Amino acid sequence: MTEAIKTKYETVIGLEVHAEMKTDSKMFCGCAVVDSTSAPPNTTVCPVCSGMPGTLPVVNRKAVEFGMKVALALGCTINQTSIFARKNYFYPDMPKGYQISQYELPLAEHGQIVINTPRGEETIRVTRVHLEEDAGKLTHIENNGVSHSLVDLNRAGVPLLEIVSEPDIRSVEGARAYGEALRQIVRYLDVNSGDMEKGVIRFEANISIRPTGSEEFGTRVEVKNLNSFRTMERAIEFETERQARVLQAGGSIDQETLGWNEANSSTYSMRSKEDAHDYRYFPEPDLPPLVVDQAWIDVVRASLPELPRARYLRFKEEYQLTDYAASVLTADRATADYFEAVLEHVPTSVSPKIVSNWVTGELFALINQAGTGIEVIKVQPEALAGLVRSVAEGQINPNTGKTVLGEMFTSGRGAEEIVAARGLKQVSDTDFIARIVKDALDENPEEVALYQAGKESVANWLFGQVMRKAKGKANPQVVRAELEKQLTKL
Ligand code: ADP
Ligand code: ZN
Ligand code: MG
């Protein structure tokens, strides 16, 4: 985006997010919810979710509970009575000819998400949270020059939660931060895997621009089916520039629904406001109003875990961690739980910062290398605590510690066991260290001469020679002190 456009116009964004709920069964029938990217097509389908006439929907209590969890986590007010409505349209992935959704009276309203952007902390208001059902999936193929559309109804009727924001977002960074925060919340609540590649959480961006300083909103477009944060960012950047060019040229923006063309990195028109859908919403006659009483709301509220932002703020405050460390350690619940479990097992003399360095440094590196997740690694928090303690207490030096952790990671054995078996115990014996320092200096007269001629960096090289002689086991602090002593005495 050019700087001129960035300063002349302000981008205004409102996001609509669809998140499938990770329930066992579908929203209105008993069919299992399966991975729609891998399960054989049309294997979890019944008369209800395939839209046979004469069938009746029954609301999935778990889906309502999951929806309430998200709504409460967003600080929304739950409507004790909400109404299911029919949203009528025809599409081959929607055999009933309508989607059961919520319209005038959604499950919940008036929440917010706090995000960090380059401009500081921002609060984005959440307009509404409502329950609906997902549609099936279409795959378009070509066979001998003939186009076919294949319909898979496994996803039809999967519980879907729609979360709509106010047009409070003002930047690409804000849109990403909001999207990531919402994804993190549904993952903390364990109601959605957050797996964007599988399409279980999907984003639509409403985008308009206005002259910087103006109070009035411009005309918005809606960009559908953004399947990654990167795509969302690019679509927002593209639209900001496109709309700015139109306004600069004296034109006006059409309110339309757009798609994103990955190949051309541009948006394209799907339909204009003129041919906007008339969904002819009306209350679903086959379902009574959805009633949730205060007692149920209280139970669900009490079941909420500590939420990501609260945990992030607490980690910074209680453990004195940097913004970065606190945010990566609270990125998901498993990592935050792991870190706190390690803390419980180290002596109080070991600071949280040291534990944080081990987890976000060496352990994350091993996990990334192995392409695995912290929930399944062989190094239990107690075991990592044992290693960190051994290093802190000087039984092994930090470098040996890294080697030992690598071995713990592959074998699942404990630190002490590995140190004993491989004779890695750190040597702090000053007589021994004095002897190998002397040997190193005797063997390298040229480097010593360079040092004496003022090239002090040679000391580091000599340090390396001593450590090699000690097979890495010497206490580095003792070696440094002894080396300095002997070099100055020369
Ligand atoms: P629709 O059914 O037309 O999609 P919704 O109420 O579901 O309407 O969603 C409207 C979305 O558009 C909300 O996220 C809202 O914040 C956003 N929005 C409304 N006006 C603007 C605007 N001028 N610029 C950007 N976003 C807007
Ligand atoms: Zn079914
Ligand atoms: Mg919309």
Instruction: Supply the angle between the helices 294-302 and 61-73 in degrees, to the nearest 10.
Output: 70
DSSP code, position 425: P
pLDDT in the model for residue 402: 93
Q: Which ligand is nearest to the CA of 215?
A: 1
Ligand 1 atom nearest 168 alpha carbon? 16
Question: Which residues' Cβ are closer than 6 Å to ligand 1?
Answer: 12-16, 164-167, 206-208, 217-218, 220, 222
Global pTM reads 0.88
Amino acid at 103: Y
How remote is the CA of residue 466 from the centroid of ligand 2, in Å? 71
Ion ligand 3: protein residues whose beta carbon lies under 5 Å: 222
Distance between Cα 277 and ligand 3 center (Å): 11
Question: Max alpha carbon distance in the chain (Å)?
Answer: 99
Residues contacting residue 321 through CB under 8 Å, at least 6 positions apart: 315, 329, 352, 353, 356
* Cα gap 169→160, rounded to integer Å: 23
Task: Using alpha carbons only, give the angle 306, 312, 315 rounded to the nearest 5 degrees.
Answer: 100
Q: How far is it, in rounded angstroms, from Cα 315 to Cα 332?
A: 13
Compute the distance from residue 14 Cα to the ligand 1 centre, in Å.
Answer: 6
**Domain 430-489 fold:** Arc Repressor Mutant, subunit A (1.10.10)
**Axis-axis angle for helices 398-411, 415-422 (nearest 10):** 110
- Under 8 Å between Cβ of 329 and 356: yes
Which pLDDT score is estimated for 311?
Answer: 98
Give the per-residue pLDDT at 274.
65
- C-alpha triplet 236, 309, 321: angle, nearest 5°: 110
Atom of ligand 1 nearest to the CA of 204: 14
Mean pLDDT, contiguous 10-residue spans, the chain (490 residues): 80 98 98 94 97 96 98 98 96 93 97 94 98 95 92 97 98 97 98 95 97 94 94 96 94 93 91 76 96 98 97 97 96 97 94 96 96 94 94 86 93 87 78 88 91 88 88 83 86
Q: How far apart are CA 319 and CA 238, in angstroms?
A: 41
Report how far residue 188's alpha carbon sits from residue 73's, in angstroms, rounded to the nearest whole number: 10
Query: How far, in Å, is the centroid of ligand 3 from the Cα of 68?
Result: 22
- CA-nearest residue, atom 14 of ligand 1: 14
Q: Ligand 1 centroid to 26 CA: how many Å?
A: 28
CA of 255 to the centre of ligand 3 (A): 11
Alpha helices in 208-332 (DSSP H): 229-248, 294-302, 308-319, 323-329
134 and 160 Cβ atoms separated by less than 8 Å? yes
Q: Check residue 276 and give its pLDDT.
A: 63
* Residue 131 near residue 64, CB atoms below 8 Å: yes
Q: Which of 10, 112, 206, 254 to mutate to test the pocket of ligand 1 (most atoms within 8 A of CB)?
A: 206
Domains of the chain, residue spans? 3-300, 306-422, 430-489
Q: How far is CA 52 from CA 94, 156, 176, 195, 386, in A?
A: 11, 13, 40, 31, 61
Whole-angstrom Cα distance, residue 475 to residue 198?
Answer: 50
How many whole angstroms from 186 Cα to the centroid of ligand 2? 24
State whether the Cα torsion 407-411-412-418 is positive or negative.
negative
Q: What are phi and psi of 95, to 5 degrees?
A: -60, -25
Residue nearest to atom 19 of ligand 1 (CA): 167
Please report the pLDDT score of residue 275 as a whole number: 65
- 27 contacts 157 by C-beta, under 8 angstroms: yes
Q: Which residues, including other chains, have CB under 8 Å from residue 77's CB and lie 6 or more apart?
A: 108, 109, 110, 111
Can you tell me which atom of ligand 1 is nearest the CA of 15?
A: 14
Residue whose CA is at the smallest distance from ligand 1 atom 13: 14
Atom nearest to 164 CA in ligand 1:
14
Helix boundaries (H) for 346-444: 352-358, 364-370, 381-392, 398-411, 415-422, 430-443
CA distances in angstroms from 410 to 329, 396, 417, 464, listed in the order given: 22, 19, 14, 28
